[in-house]
Structure 1
Amino acid sequence: MRSRLSLALAASLLLVPLTAAGAAAVTLHTPHLNTAVDCDGQVLWHFVHNQVAPGNATAGTLTATFDGAGAVVVDASSVLNRVRHYDVVTPSGDTLLGASDTIAEGKLVLSHTECLPGEEPDPECVAGSSVVVTWPDVRLGFFNVTGLVESAATSTSLLPGDYAVTLTSTDPFHAPGYQPEQDQEQWYVVLTLGGSPVATTGTISDLPTDVLTLTEGVGTVSLPDGADGAVATHLLIGLDYSAFWLSPESVEPTQAVFTCI
């Protein structure tokens, strides 16, 4: 009889759940299951495990399972005397299916959720808006005290986007029949970002001898990252003057208009 009682007692002890730290896991408070959160950015889920025994030194590791993100494992972000805090970040629109940690006592709850700021989208140009770039007192293809002027740079501010480009040329010395051999009074714009070229516009047509000012659309440019510089560039830049220019081919790059499309 004594032997049977001892065996029964031993068997009953085997059926008692162990409560030592790490021997079992506390699961999430049932009412917090199936919580779903929608935000503009990411979602912060803050879990709290409270009512931990004062002598329990277990830091705690949480496993939270979501419908979209799957199982996410994190260590405690804060360990206090009787409380553990956990932070989990997921994309917006997910649903919490369950959670448990490695502390075998107390109560695990979802304290709150928080919408984290989303990444600011890169600014883009607004359709219909225009940026005008000018190069005052510049005459391409003209010799000044420093030599032949083949290009001229200026700063600008073009947001990312696609632009239709219109160029305007001027030559105040034009007159009917004057210097008809100047048939390459043409230029284009090289757009730069941080000093490096990012796009090149089309080239404006030659300025007729009987026309003082010519305005012409020269196509479009695409600026994925925008531009902060514009270089008015003569069509004949870099070519030997005596072999290719043949005449001054001077022209004023009056302006370039970039219209967001």
Structure 2
Amino acid sequence: MSPAQRSTPAHEPATAELAVSTVIFALHTEADAALPSLWLPLVRRTREPFQGQWALPGGWLPVDEELGKAAARTLNETTGLTPKYLEQLYTFGALDRSPGRRVVSVVYWALVQSDEAARTAEGENVRWFPADDLPELAFDHNLIVDYALWRLRTKLEYSRIAHAFLGETFTLAQLREVHEAVLQRPIDPANFRRTLEASKTVIATDEYLAGTPHRPPRLYRFDSTIDPADLGPLGRATPGKAS
């Protein structure tokens, strides 16, 4: 047996490739809809595998770039978005998720306000879709979106993650609308106010929303001492963590 044969055993596995992808949620209100809903941008694949199918924004991870920065860069290159809230979601690495090669994807998720979503570079290969009514996506991206929706709806119950959909100040009705859009069910305004006041996550300001036909509602802000989401001890060191 030659040295070359000894140094390359037949059972040696191929090297896995590493990629990053991002799920971006924004609120969208349709004229005939009872509630606002969550939408996300997808990009059309221009090469095989899955050429022509829609997929999450993403790309390969360079050896000299941090994960969070790579996720933000690929997202901006494909959609033009630069979200303030960008958090690592999960790592997907099933053996059969990419035909003909082993690809492990580190997935991030982002939340953007409606006005920022409106500035997305939409076109033939970039389009917004309702998160709960997606076409068949490339790879395992339908599963990834389902997982992201589950995480968002779970976090909404115990964190101030809704802040990422709103400006610095907001009315309680606007905040309730975020919860209704994410949970996809109406919420009683009085119960919502009581629950919110008991949580002590929002602070009333001395400002009021201008331009309303009736008594202007008070504006609130989130308590800045509370992080948008509990990322645990890794949160202080994770690139892409929301500020």
Q: Normalised by the size of structure 2, how large is the TM-score?
A: 0.25
Q: Normalised by the size of structure 1, how large is the TM-score?
A: 0.23
Flag the structure with higher helix content: 2
